Every structure is written in structure tokens, then in C-alpha cells.
Amino acid sequence: MINISNIKKQFGKTIASDIPSFFVNDGDILGLVGNNGAGKTTLFRMMLDLLRPDEGTITIDDINPSISEEWKTRTGAYIDDSFLIDYLTPDEYFAFLGKICNITSEELSTRLQQFETFANEEIFGQNKLIRNLSAGNKQKVGIIAALMRNPSLVILDEPFNFLDPTSQSSLKHLLTEYHKKYNATILISSHNLQHTTDISTRIALMEKGCIIRDLNNDNEEAKQELITYFEQQM
């Protein structure tokens, strides 16, 4: 699915990314964890061609995002609220995305029903501009927009940020069920170790732009290794 080869990115003297080789398999739920400045968001931005690496390549299904846009039809992503059109209401925003993706209004309505629990009567039919929503509800709009096209690859940067505990639990259930239904490959970054280990099948630990651990999240040993690592950083 995603192949990273000799990627390097530097801002001044700061190394933001230095990954010789890494591969994300079809159907992985990959949790990307690390402290602030570890390089998680930089890596996601390079995957989505929002930032060009200084060296190396990233391919999605053998497609280099900087050369071809074919990968976009199968990819849904939300990094931050710059992805949103804040002078629209959520309903207008979803309708706009539906039109450019050739989704009929009837089909769009059907697809959005799967997000009603997560939306919690705070998103649909509220007639409130996105810019006037709370940070948590903006986050919900972005996540719903990333998933509504039923993409086979989903990339979410800090999706649990700004969400209340109930919405965080709802999101974990939503992503788990989405993975089961579509056998999707899901990449999430998060500072919340508990939520990440709860849903991920695989964990990549980043430090100073490097992936220093690649763990199968199939037992308590992986979680304990991560806990030990972060305790040592204190």
C-alpha cells in the first residue's frame, strides 16, 4: 500500500524526517506515536503531497503522489482545519464534496447515516457555519469528510484531539467498524497512547524524524514497551 524509501526532510538544522525504509501493508491500522516534534505530521504531509521531501520517495499503491493524482480517488485524509471550507455549514460542505466526487444526494444521505452516532446531533442539520463550530465539532466534520467517500486508505492526524470522552470512544468504534467493513488501511497519529493501542494492529514509534520501533500490537508486550519508552523520556 505505502512504501517509504530513503525519505529525508530538514527544516534548517532540524531533522524532521529520516526514514530509510518503511512499508504499510494493505489492511493495517497503523498508529504513529511520538512526542511533539517527532515528525508524525511532517510524514503525513509528505504522504499527501502537501510537503515535498528533500530526498527519497513515498508511493501509494506504486503511485508517487508528487507525479500522479490517481491515489486521491482512494484516499481520505484530515490533518487540520485548513482542510475545511469554513464559510459553509457542515451540510453544505458535505454536499460540495459529494458533487465533486460524483456522489448523488441520495447516496450521500445514505453514506452520512453511518456517522450519526459520532456526530451526536451536533453536526448534521445545525445550519451553523463551520467557522463558528467548536474545535471538537470541526474535528468531527473533518473526520466525516475524510471517510464519507469510503476510501481504502485513511490518514488522520491527531483525530482524538478536541473530542470529549464520549466522542473519543465513538470514534474508536467508528474506525474499528470502518476497517472491518471496507478492509481499509488506516493511519492515525496520536498523543493518546491508550486510544492508539486500543484500535491499532501495528504501532510505529517516532523520535526526531526516525521510526525507532515497529511493533505488532497483538499482545501486552508492545503496549508495555511504549509505556516504558515514554516514562524514560520524563
**pLDDT tens across 187-216, in order?**
999 888 888 889 999 999 999 999 999 999
pLDDT for the residue 234: 67
pLDDT for the residue 138: 97
Q: With DSSP H G I counted as helix, E B as strand and the rest as coil, what are the percentages for the chain, rounded to 5?
A: 40, 25, 35
CA distance 155 to 80: 11
Beta bridge partners of 9: 17
pLDDT for the residue 4: 97
CA distance 117 to 123: 10
pLDDT per residue as tens digits for the range 39-94: 999 999 999 999 999 999 999 999 999 899 899 989 999 999 999 999 999 999 99
Residue ranges of domains in the chain: 2-81+150-232
Sequence-distant (≥ 6) Cβ neighbours of residue 192 within 8 angstroms: 160, 168
pLDDT for the residue 228: 87
Q: Could you tell me the pTM of the whole model?
A: 0.95
CATH number for the domain running over 2-81+150-232: 3.40.50.300
CA distance 74 to 125: 28
- Contact present, 157 and 80 (Cβ < 8 Å): yes
pLDDT for the residue 203: 95
DSSP E strand boundaries for the chain: 2-11, 14-24, 29-33, 55-60, 75-78, 153-157, 185-189, 202-207, 210-216
| Strand order, beta sheet including 185-189 | 75-78, 153-157, 185-189, 29-33, 202-207, 210-216
pLDDT per residue as tens digits for the range 1-33: 899 999 999 999 899 999 999 999 999 999 999
Sequence-distant (≥ 6) Cβ neighbours of residue 24 within 8 angstroms: 1, 2, 3, 30, 185, 187
Angular region, 133: left φ>0, alpha ψ -120 to 50, beta rest? beta
pLDDT per residue as tens digits for the range 154-166: 999 999 999 999 9
CA distance 146 to 155: 8
CA distance 76 to 73: 8
- Contact present, 112 and 148 (Cβ < 8 Å): yes
pLDDT per residue as tens digits for the range 102-154: 999 999 999 999 999 999 999 999 889 999 999 999 999 999 999 999 999 99
**Cell matching residue 156:** 488522520
